[in-house]
Chain A
Amino acid sequence: GAVVSQHPSRVICKSGTSVKIECRSLDFQATTMFWYRQFPKQSLMLMATSNEGSKATYEQGVEKDKFLINHASLTLSTLTVTSAHPEDSSFYICSGDRGTYGYTFGSGTRLTVV
């Protein structure tokens, strides 16, 4: 089946630094990728939609200058958390749109900001 590879799976960073998370679709082309954030015991919250070759669309309340999204190719989308703070600690998940077959999700990245 379709696979989305997400790296790193876990990262710990110091407050004020930036962290990049990569998502690659391994066996399909993802014109559109979605980025979610999930806090403990909560559901997934959509942060932004990234379209290959164009600017990402952010959900209300998500700071585009803090969460930089790049979707430079049909198989790679990246999320950079800039100037991270402890409140950015969360589980970040990407997914690729496979049309009728729905979405294929990455395995997630556990970000801890200390």
Chain B
Amino acid sequence: DAKTTQPPSMDCAEGRAANLPCNHSTISGNEYVYWYRQIHSQGPQYIIHGLKNNETNEMASLIITEDRKSSTLILPHATLRDTAVYYCIVRVPTEILTGGGNKLTFGTGTQLKVEL
């Protein structure tokens, strides 16, 4: 998996948009960008993923730059419950990669603190 770089921490006011950046300058052509978050003492939760195009779901939006070297996760209206560590990961999906299961390697992530 290519390495990613994220700021160690960010603060956001409740109700405002939280924009979490991620650099993945060595991403290869068949690697997807995935975002997960981990609320304290729970297993990580899938948020969103994308390859080239911007993506949106009920949780967040993912903006990927045209050169794919960086991306931004946007939580449009952050709430206190969004306080968590957010992980940006790049990987090749298993069905594309030959040879079996493709392990997911976690970096240090960004600790997002949403405050009143």
Taking Cβ atoms with an 8 Å cutoff, the residues of A that contact B are 1, 4, 6, 31-32, 34, 36, 43-46, 49, 51, 91, 93, 95, 97, 99-108, 110
Complex contact A93–B94 (CB within 8 A): no
Interface residues of B in 75-116 (CB under 8 A from A): 87, 91, 93-95, 100-109
Query: A105 with B44: in contact, given A34-B103, A51-B100 (CB under 8 Å)?
Result: yes
Q: Interface SS of chain B: helix, strand, loop or mixed?
A: loop
Q: How many residues of B contact A (CB 8 A)?
A: 26
Contact of B104 among A4, A31, A34 (CB under 8 A): A34
Q: Interface SS of chain A: helix, strand, loop or mixed?
A: strand
Taking Cβ atoms with an 8 Å cutoff, the residues of B that contact A are 32, 34, 36, 38, 41-46, 49, 87, 91, 93-95, 100-109
Contacts A46-B104, A97-B94, A99-B95 supplied; 19 other A-B pairs, CB < 8 Å:
A1-B46, A6-B43, A34-B104, A43-B108, A44-B106, A46-B103, A49-B103, A51-B101, A93-B44, A95-B44, A97-B101, A99-B94, A100-B93, A102-B34, A102-B36, A102-B46, A102-B104, A104-B46, A108-B41
